[in-house]
Amino acid sequence: MACSRPPTASARASLPLPAAADALRSAADAAQGPAWRSDMRPDEFQDKLRLLTWADFENFVADVLRSTGRFRDVRQGVRVDGRMGRVRALDIVAIEVDSVGPIPPKWYFEVKKRELTSIDVVDSLLGKYHDLRPTNGPIRLVLVTSGSLTQAARHRSQSDGLEVWDSATLANLATPEVMERYFGEGAQLTESPQQNNRKSNLFLQALGNTPPGKEFWSAYQRLGSDIFEYLFCPPLEPPRYNVPDSDSRNVRDMIFENSTTTGFWALIRAAYAAQYIVIDAKNYSDLIEKQPVLDIAHYLKSYGCGLFGILLTRKGSNEAADHAIREQWIGAQKLIVVLSDSDVEEMLLIKSTGGRPEELIRKKIADFRMSL
């Protein structure tokens, strides 16, 4: 079945795609027959997706696309030019076959391995897509998730032209061969070092091509969130974005739930009451000063998110900021770690070689504590 006609390049800014429900039906109809096994309930399929690593889930989605016969040139970890020369990393890019029109649509897929996708994730993803440079042909934008969406997130996706493929859609699209490869008795899935290296390199390029300054703060925030999710999820849960406290005076850029019981993040949870990891991104051209430290400290509460926060910066902190960090620790037991571009680059390189990027944060904490 042919899919509905995608928008032209001139209409791209408003992303007037078909309603998500219609798109999902056309996607399911395009599959080569349902792969849903008669003995597998929807919740059982979600449980199987839950067991995949982020890399295996992305590979699964790519193989599902290839298996439908609906796409060609399916590529993972693709570098795409953004506006004003910036580089953006997309999880999967594919070309539709047998389409209507002289130029076949290009499909951009963003893959999110999470149980429930909320509206803040959709808003962040739409901002990322709007930052891409317009292309000469039609495009389709798709969010692929291993779980479900909140009602608000689904409505936002529909109104803003973001197509959604959830676990039910994947189950209908996947062929029996793909299901057996990933979930059969003999399935042996391993995270590819080449895939880690490719994704780390894409993020390094994107970071280097995102200028500091107020004009690009939202792009930097989205990129920082994507990088941290790649580096630390799991064991951390996927992030929530732009979360205010109860009186809405303090809003933090991203918060990662920290429910793990082993490893470095479990130690952070125990030592600093860090049930959540609070991260604030500051796209300043210079060293950050005292005020950003005080801002994130206001959000750190033992009865709230906890007492551990990270300031994600371009250049690091100046002497006044360092003094404020010491005061917050000594006076209120709030630990704030400052990371610069060079720190983020090092963590990406560590990840690409199979190492543990959180060890850099461990070292920064140790250096700070031992300096007092």
User: pLDDT per residue over 89-121, tens digit each?
Assistant: 788 999 988 777 788 888 999 998 887 788 878
Q: How many CA atoms lie within 13 A of 1 on its CB side?
A: 14
Q: β-pairing, 87-96 with 106-112?
A: antiparallel
Architecture of domain 194-370: 3-Layer(aba) Sandwich (3.40)
Give the C-alpha separation, 26 to 161, whole Å.
15
Task: Parse the chain into domains and list their residue ranges.
Answer: 9-191, 194-370
Give the C-alpha separation, 322 to 119, whole Å.
35
Residue 25 pLDDT grade (very low, low, confident, very high; cuts 50, 70, 90) = very low
Q: Is the pTM of this model over 0.85?
A: no
Give the C-alpha separation, 290 to 304, whole Å.
23
Architecture of domain 9-191: 3-Layer(aba) Sandwich (3.40)
Give the C-alpha separation, 344 to 339, whole Å.
7
Give the C-alpha separation, 193 to 195, whole Å.
5
Whether 112 contacts 79, CB under 8 Å = no
For residues 110 and 251, which has the higher predicted lDDT (pLDDT)? 110
Give the C-alpha separation, 346 to 215, whole Å.
26
Whether 341 contacts 315, CB under 8 Å = yes
Q: What is the mean pLDDT of the chain?
A: 80
| pLDDT at residue 199 greater than cutoff 80 | yes
**What are residue 81's DSSP bridge partners?**
87
3-state secondary structure at position 334: coil
Q: Which of 40-44, 55-59, 223-227, 243-247 has the lowest mean pLDDT?
A: 243-247
